[in-house]
């Protein structure tokens, strides 16, 4: 697909590892092959907002603790409701219950936590048996002019060698040097790690080259009482650690319509793909897996297109950019498309079956991937992906990266 210009705020990109069905995202971005007539195949389902009501509203910020969290449908029944609360890099499932009539879900604890991000994923069936999904996020009030940072990857995770530590702030940071000095990222075995600011609300860290497999990385946030902006002080003093797993780098050649998958330098497979069509090309450059979804909804309207497609059940979806580049399973294109034609709206498609097959190319690749793995695209007639569109910092030289520090 052609990507939206502004990157979506995805401060908890790795939160997907906590949710088995976090992939059932309503309004998730994505792409499909041009001219497939998806509307004719799938019909026109009711909008997620019509089918499923979530309160507080999706995207709400600074929600006060007195606001009630609820999920409801007007008819049919709720099939699944999963809510996760993220605070201080800790992710906790929020217990709740669906009412006996299936129309409402409410948490056991009615009071919202302060300084937290909530993620809500819902699956519901309407009165005609049609399945609808919604994904919503909101953040709660941070008292007394405080700022906090949301860290990726999540605590105690195992990630690929291309993982970039990313801290996104809930407020604009104007005293960036002070905040930067309050973050320490260390590795064992030791390696030089440097920070880079993207605007005033995101601070990333990486080494000069990809991490060595087996590296243990620790992120210390010492924001408490640090003044990030006039009168705005930090709230956190927390530690996050993660482990770097095996090395996997996959190179997509958009011109040849293939993807070579290498594990620890050895070629595992050459997989036929379909990339962006001539009018909706795929970004070039090195991208990092930030999210892995068993199934998700892809709607062309969320990325600036019209109603070209709206697919409720795209399988094996691997997010590569915040603007909506995915590597995903494709069951609607003809089999001879893969390896021969580029027909997508900017994503990278692998052959799959409806519902997702374990023995398909898409299922095979999904089962062998980690958040933090690198997917590099070459041969596309498009520009290089922006460094802040996802974890694209590997597309900067080491000199350029180091120049992004505010404290040096």
Domain ranges of the chain: 13-27+49-139, 146-246+397-402, 248-394
Q: Is the pLDDT of residue 15 over 70?
A: no
Helix, strand counts (H, E) of the chain? 5, 28
Whether 347 is a known active-site residue: answer yes
pLDDT tens digits for 177-195? 999 999 999 999 999 999 9
What length does the chain have? 408
Q: Which of 19-28, 57-66, 183-192, 363-372 has the lowest mean pLDDT?
A: 19-28
Task: Please tell me which residue, 326 or 300, carries the higher pLDDT value.
Answer: 326
Catalytic choice (196, 316, 345, 347): 347
- Terminal Cα distance for the chain, rounded: 39
Interior angle at CA 165, CA 239 and CA 231, nearest 5:
65
Tell me whether the CATH fold assigned to 13-27+49-139 matches the one assigned to 146-246+397-402: yes
pLDDT at 307: 60
The pairing of strands 237-244 and 232-234 is: unpaired
CA distance 196 to 176: 11
pLDDT at 19: 36
Q: What is the DSSP string of 363-382?
A: HHHHHT--TT-EEEEES-SS
pLDDT at 20: 35
CATH of domain 146-246+397-402: 2.60.40.3710
Place of tokens 């801290």: 167
Whether 328 is a known active-site residue: answer yes
CATH of domain 13-27+49-139: 2.60.40.3780
E strand segments, 112-247: 117-125, 131-139, 146-147, 149-152, 157-159, 165-169, 183-188, 193-197, 202-207, 216-222, 227-229, 232-234, 237-244
- What mean pLDDT value characterizes the chain? 87
Residue % of the chain over a pLDDT of 90: 72
Mean pLDDT of 242-254: 98
pLDDT tens digits for 249-272? 999 999 999 999 999 999 999 999
Give 232's strand partners. 229
The pairing of strands 70-72 and 104-107 is: antiparallel
The class (CATH top level) of 248-394 is: mainly beta
């Amino acid at each position: 697909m052609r990507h939206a210009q502004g990157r979506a705020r995805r401060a908890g990109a790795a939160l997907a590892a906590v949710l088995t069905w976090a992939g059932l995202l309503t309004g998730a971005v994505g792409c499909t092959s041009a001219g497939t007539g998806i509307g004719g195949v799938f019909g026109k389902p009711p909008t997620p907002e019509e089918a499923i009501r979530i309160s507080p509203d999706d995207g709400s910020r600074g929600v006060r603790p007195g606001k009630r969290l609820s999920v409801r449908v007007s008819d049919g029944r709720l099939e699944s409701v999963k809510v996760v609360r993220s605070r201080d890099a800790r992710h906790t499932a929020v217990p709740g219950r669906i009412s006996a009539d299936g129309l409402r879900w409410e948490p056991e604890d009615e009071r919202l936590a302060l300084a937290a991000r909530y993620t809500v994923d819902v699956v519901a069936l309407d009165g005609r048996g049609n399945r609808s999904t919604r994904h919503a996020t909101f953040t709660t009030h941070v008292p007394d002019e405080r700022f906090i940072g949301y860290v990726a990857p999540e605590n105690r995770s195992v990630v690929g060698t291309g993982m970039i530590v990313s801290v996104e702030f809930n407020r604009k940071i104007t005293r960036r040097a002070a905040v930067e000095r309050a973050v320490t990222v260390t590795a064992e075995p030791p390696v030089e790690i440097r920070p880079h600011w993207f605007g005033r609300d995101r601070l990333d860290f990486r080494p000069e080259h990809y991490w060595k497999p087996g590296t243990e990385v620790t992120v210390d946030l010492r924001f408490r009482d640090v003044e990030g902006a006039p009168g705005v002080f930090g709230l956190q003093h927390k530690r996050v650690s993660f482990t770097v797993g095996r090395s996997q780098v996959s190179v997509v050649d958009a011109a040849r319509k293939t993807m070579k998958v290498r594990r620890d330098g050895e070629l595992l497979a050459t997989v036929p793909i379909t990339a962006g069509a001539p009018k909706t090309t795929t970004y070039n450059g090195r991208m990092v897996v930030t999210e892995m979804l068993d199934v998700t909804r892809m709607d062309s309207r969320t990325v600036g297109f019209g109603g070209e497609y709206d697919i409720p059940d795209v399988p094996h979806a691997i997010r590569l950019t915040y603007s909506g580049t995915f590597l995903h399973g494709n069951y609607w294109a003809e089999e001879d498309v893969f390896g021969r034609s580029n027909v997508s709206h900017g994503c990278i498609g692998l052959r799959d079956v409806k519902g997702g097959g374990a023995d398909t190319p898409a299922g095979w690749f999904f089962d062998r991937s980690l958040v933090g793995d690198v997917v590099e695209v070459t041969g596309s007639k498009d520009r290089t992906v922006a460094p802040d569109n996802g974890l694209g910092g590997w597309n900067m030289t080491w000199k350029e990266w180091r120049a992004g520090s505010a404290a040096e």
